Amino acid sequence: MLLYIHGFNSSPFSDKAVMTAKYMALHHPSVTFHQPQLLNTPRAAMALLTTYVEAAIDANEPLAYIGSSLGGILLVI
């Protein structure tokens, strides 16, 4: 699973997120790609992201992240 974590005041519909999704679909169609709409507080965003991480762990699926803008900050919290 590849999890795209957009920045605050952004969305999975930003140009960068859409281009990444299209690239993944074209070049890596076997990789599960998620770019969820993050909630508006760090705590709520982390709770949502945790559900994706736990799903990958439960499925024994490799997991990688892309942190865009302040979404990258969430990777180190």
* pLDDT one-digit tens code per residue, 35-52: 999 988 888 888 999 999
pLDDT score of 75: 61
Q: Please state which CATH number belongs to domain 2-74.
A: 3.40.50.1820
Angle at 15 between CA 38 and CA 72, to 5 degrees: 45
Sheet bearing 2-5, strands edge to edge: 33-34, 2-5, 64-67
Q: Residue 77: is its pLDDT beyond 70?
A: no
Query: Would you place residue 26 in the very low, low, confident or very high pLDDT band (cuts 50, 70, 90)?
Result: very high
Greater confidence, 67 or 55?
A: 55
pTM, rounded to two decimals: 0.83
Domain chopping of the chain, boundaries: 2-74
Report whether pLDDT(76) > 80.
Answer: no
The token pair at 14 is: 């930003």
Nearest to 33 by CA among 48, 20, 19: 20
User: How far is Cα 9 from Cα 70, in angstroms, rounded to an integer?
Assistant: 9
Q: Which residues make beta-bridge pairs with 66?
A: 4
